[in-house]
Copies of this chain bind each other. A is one copy, B any other.
Amino acid sequence: MLTSSQRQLLRVISECGPLSRTEMAQLLGFSKAAMSGLARDLIDLGVLHETETVYGPGRPSVRLDLSPECAFFIGVSLLEEPAPMVLSDLTGKIIARRSMPLSRDPAVIADAVAQALPELLANHPDAADRLSGIGIALSGFVDETQARCVQSTLLNWQDVPLARIVSDRCGVETFIENDAKAVAVSEKLFGTARDISNFSVVTLGDGIGCAHFIDGKLYRGNHGGAGEIAHCTIEPGGSPCRCGKRGCLDTIASMKAVGEMARAEGLTCTSLSELEAQASVGNAAAIRILHRAASALGLAIANLIQMNDPGLILITHVEGSFDGLFGTVLKQAVETNVLPRYAGQTPIRFKRVDSDIWARGAASIAAHQFLIGPHSS
């Protein structure tokens, strides 16, 4: 078990990349003496190692970095059938992939994970040796200890202590998290948002997910529901949503909704890139659909910016690109709906991700627990 000072040190390296002892001492407000001891202990533990030497006037400084192979994590996504699994190291690099059958029965899930474990670890004795946690991403609400699923419509769960069930079965510490929140953590730990303390991730796919990091910490909300942007009302009195209300963002801008609208308009293509292609050759229906979806998403993001003033909006998408009509309209809609003074102040990044995104996110939950721990700031 790491001390809170050790965790602070790991955190600042995770955020800033390799740093010398002196730099860290300044950043964290420790004395050089304290730093020296902390670093020695973490190096002895195998978590840190010395990297490049930086020359300047005076004695050169030696940067310390995380040792990628000091701990390994498994991530499981319960969002698809079959359920993707990944084995990752401490820096988020994926070492191996597998999949397992999906089930709604927690015990069956635990069995499937236990069965897939040796296969994932088969050719990686180091990983088998230093496997430090399992993370599971699911659609639904999770409690703040990342142990119990409070509610999941997709899995038809109500207060299921999945983490305990899996860890009992597999003998490995296990943590669970909501899908979008897991992606946000992986972006904070491994991705584009390492050094940013306030940001929001929007995951654009069949559904729309969103999660916020606030003051360097995942913000879960009072009932675990922070980031439910998909069911913000964008068109009051609009089309009914499966959630029971009307005009939700999800009914307009999710890739599923876009596909359905395309089908309803008699288009044969339903994917974003296909629609973009049609739009670029002047297909009015494709243009209309893309325009409507992008405007809606842009408005929702503009409202998010107005409400929370994040330092970054990161939009992940599995398919298509954002340099076509959809992306242009989206950016424009954001700009026209934020305070003119703010316009352009909040960077919006797009990131194309593959289908591993949820399992990677899940693994990052376990890695986050290992590095940063359960505690708050």
CB-contacts of A333-352 with B (<8 A): 336-342, 345-346
Q: Which of A5-13, A161-169, A220-228 contacts B (4 or more CB under 8 A)?
A: A220-228
A310 close to B222 (CB less than 8 A) = yes
Contact residues of A between 201 and 236, Cβ < 8 Å to B: 210, 212, 214-215, 217, 219-229, 231-233, 236
Q: Decide: B219 and A215 in contact? CB cutoff 8 A.
A: yes
Partner of A307, one of B223, B227, B244: B227
A195 contacts B by Cβ under 8 Å: no
Main secondary structure of the interface of A (DSSP, over half): loop
Q: Which residue of B lies closest to A226 (CB)?
A: B309
Segment at the B interface, from A68-76, A92-100, A297-305, A314-322: A297-305
On whether the beta carbons of A307 and B308 are closer than 8 Å, the reply is: yes
Say yes or no: A306 contacts B229, CB within 8 Å.
Answer: yes
Question: Cβ of A245 < 8 Å from any Cβ of B?
Answer: yes
Contact pick for A215, options B214, B228, B307, B337, CB 8 Å: B214
Q: A243-B339, A339-B243, A340-B245 are in contact. Are A236 and B307 (CB under 8 A)?
A: no
Complex: how many Å from CA A311 to CA B222?
5
Q: Report which of B212, B217, B231, B337 forms a contact with A339, defined as CB distance below 8 A.
A: B231
Known: A214-B214, A340-B243, A340-B244. A309 touches B221 (CB 8 A): yes
The smallest C-beta distance from A250 to any residue of chain B, in angstroms, reads 11
Does A156 interact with chain B (Cβ within 8 Å)?
no
Contacting pair A307 B226 (CB below 8 A): yes
Residue A3 CB within 8 A of the other chain:
no
Q: How far is the CB of A31 from chain B (nearest CB, A)?
A: 17
The one of B215, B222, B229, B310 in contact with A198, judged by C-beta atoms closer than 8 angstroms, is B222
Report how far A130 CA is from B250 CA in the complex, Å. Answer: 56
Give every chain B residue within 8 A of A225 (Cβ-Cβ). Answer: 306, 309, 339, 342
| Closest B residue, CB atoms, query A246 | B336
Residue of B nearest to A225 (CB): B309
Extra contacts besides A232-B307, A307-B307 (9): CB < 8 Å: A198-B222, A212-B308, A215-B376, A223-B342, A227-B307, A232-B302, A243-B341, A245-B336, A304-B307
10 contacts between A and B (CB under 8 A): A210-B307, A214-B215, A215-B215, A215-B377, A219-B308, A228-B309, A229-B306, A232-B302, A232-B303, A303-B307
The 10 closest A-B pairs by CB, nearest first: A221-B309, A222-B311, A225-B309, A244-B340, A226-B309, A233-B337, A232-B306, A228-B306, A232-B303, A198-B222
